[in-house]
Amino acid sequence: MSFPIIPQNLSISAMRSSGYRDTAHALAELIDNSIQAGEDTGSRTEVEVICIDEAPSGGRSQISRLAVYDNASGMNTSLLRKALQFGNGSRLDKAQQKGIGKFGMGLPNSSISQCKRVDVWSWQQGSVHHAYLDVQEIQDGMMTEVPEPQPSELPSEWRSLIAGNIEEHGTLVVWSKLDRISWKKSTTLLRHTEFISGRVYRHFINDKSVRIRLAAYESKTKAGVFESFVRPNDPLYLMTGTNAPAPFNQKPAFVAFGQPLVLTVAHGGAEHPVTIMASICKPETRREGGTKPIGQHAQKNQGISVVRSRRELELNHSFTNSYDTRERWWGIEVQFDPGLDDVFGVTNNKQSATGFHRLSIEEDALEEGLNVKEYHETLEEDHDPRLAMYRISREIEKLLNSMRTQVAKMREGERIHSAKERAENKAEKAATDSVMRRRERVGDTGRSDKEEHASASDRASALTADIVQDGVEEAKAHDLAVDYVTKKIKFRFRHSDLTGSSIFDVSTAGGVILVTLNSRHPVHARIFAALQGEEGPEAQYAREVLSLIAAWARMEDEAPSEKVRLGIEDTRSQWGRMAMDFFEFEN
């Protein structure tokens, strides 16, 4: 009796659960191989993903077989056999690891994660060879090694469905006995594949070095069910000819935010560039709003695009505020080469970069009981890859702080231009009336009340400076400030990103109590964001909550001493931290 360390029937079952998010991401592995093999041909790589639908007796039509064809360089018999062996391939040598491929796991891993049989036909100079893997045969002990590729012909069924010219070199991979695919209908699978592959391979499609066709056919009649050529899906929204909704499919919806930042990271005895690119929505895109097609499209692409050798690995969400719907209005792409795979923690199925996430060296040093300098020195001694990631994370945080502020000012500035239409105006007037009644009883006890003794022009100038900070042109800001002063409005509510955990901040300018609602706090998205949309019950409710906020703001304004005021501010900050825990948990 033999006692293998890993019984063959158990190992193949375990390897089928290889961590692919869905069938569209598993297909990306095969497309990777096609693109990699096509880089040496000197011509555009044509990739076709083809589904064949069948309807079981009395049942609904569903995918029965799936193929990926390419016109790339093809494989000789030796390479074809290696391609079906787990952990083997042509890119295992570090000198060869300059493109998408590397791990030698893509073809077999992705295939058996979705089906029980994979057949591969590959040809060079017109000479076709065939090899296959069959999960059932492996489990039964009938297949113990990859079969020697045999001379063959390209099956006529698939030959008739390939739209492009079949050249003297290429490869056809066919999945059958499909038992783990994410979507049973070909149209559903291909639409998901179109969105995902458009983003993953956007750089290749955009420079026209790769074209990807998606098609589905009915088994008996070979009638076409679906056909589409994948367009770029750019999460930075800087490309044209994309799959974004019109008119942003033909013109960029965003603009570049500054110049690309190139960091040099030393690793493995060499220096490698890490490029960080950022974009921000155009004002006209922002005006469309999150409920319009472009807003919904941008929400699906929300996050930081991590790109290895021009191929996207993932959209990372560790830097995003999940409760803030405005996160869709910026884009960041981080590019690196395979030499930094260990630093970024690239998984062997290229589904993610586990080492890339938001890090703070200050927070982590504190947890270790060290100051930043000591912690930094410890990381250097250990050659810890996190040292590079701390630097990358810090640069991304700087970009995000700037972009979030600018996004907030876009909408706030537009709304303030038409002050009469602001939902906050009613709350400001109601709060002003309440304070006036109170002042009749207790007198002018507020800090802001004393500022009313200044001249109207001085008060307007002080308030103008504050309104300009919201992104309003100075002339319009001055007109609005004069309006507040002449109408004796006591409160002004505004929305802005604030550091810290407070739900709102309180200050004064020109005799007006300024209440800044912290748009980075989860309470804002749940309550106050409604003020920035259409009038309705939610906006009415938010205005009523503003009355409570105004009461607190007036309490701070009337604090009898600086010591008392600081105590109230500290309580407000603690309350904000408590609310953050409650509201984030509910999300």
In degrees, rounded to 5, the angle at the alpha carbon of residue 182 between the alpha carbons of residues 176 and 183 is 85
Tokens found for residue 56? 């079981």
- 275 and 260 in contact (C-beta within 8 Å)? yes
Tokens of 216: 């589905």
Do 75 and 124 contact (CB within 8 A), yes or no? yes
Closest CA to 308 of 278, 329, 272, 334: 334
CA dihedral 534, 536, 539, 544 (to 10 degrees): 160
Q: What pLDDT is attached to residue 3?
A: 53
Lookup result for tokens 């800001």: 477
SS3 for 88?
Answer: coil
Return d(Cα 44, Cα 15) in angstroms, integer: 34
pLDDT digits (tens, 9 = 90+) for 422-436: 778 888 999 999 999
**Given the structure tokens 């890119």, which residue do they identify?**
91
Contact 327, 529 (CB under 8 A): no
User: What's the confidence (pLDDT) of residue 530?
Assistant: 67
Helix ranges (DSSP H) in 469-515: 474-486
Sorted by sequence, the CB contacts under 8 Å of residue 224 that are 6+ apart come out as 215, 216, 217
The per-residue pLDDT for range 45-65, each reduced to its tens digit, is 999 999 999 987 767 889 999
One-letter identity of residue 286: R
CA 215 to mean position of chain CA atoms: 27
| pLDDT tens digits, one per residue of 490-533 | 999 988 777 778 899 999 999 999 999 887 788 887 787 767 65
For the beta carbon of residue 391, count every other beta carbon within 10 angstroms. Answer: 15
State the pairing for strand pair 127-134/115-124.
antiparallel
Low-confidence ranges of the chain (pLDDT < 50): 1, 90-92, 97, 103-104, 419-420, 585-587
Task: Please give the structure tokens belonging to residue 440.
Answer: 């009749």
CB contact set of 310 (below 8 Å; sequence gap of 6+):
203, 204, 335
What is the β-pairing status of strands 45-54 and 210-218? parallel
Which residue ranges make up each domain of the chain? 8-229, 254-408, 418-586
Distances (CA, A) of 206 to 93, 163, 199, 231, 242: 30, 21, 10, 8, 9
Select 8-229's CATH number: 3.40.50.450, 3.40.50.720, 3.100.10.10, 3.30.565.10.
Answer: 3.30.565.10
Residue 550: strand, helix, or coil = helix
CA dist., res. 540 & res. 430, Å (int) = 13
- For residue 44 the two structure tokens come to 């555009």
Strand, coil or helix: 547? helix
- What one-letter code names the amino acid at 384? D
Q: How far apart are CA 304 and CA 274, in angstroms?
A: 14
* CB atoms inside a 10 Å sphere around CB 295: 19
pTM of the model: 0.71
In the sheet with 504-509, reading across from the earlier edge strand, the strands are 491-496, 512-518, 504-509
> What SS3 state is found at 38?
helix
AA letter at 449: D
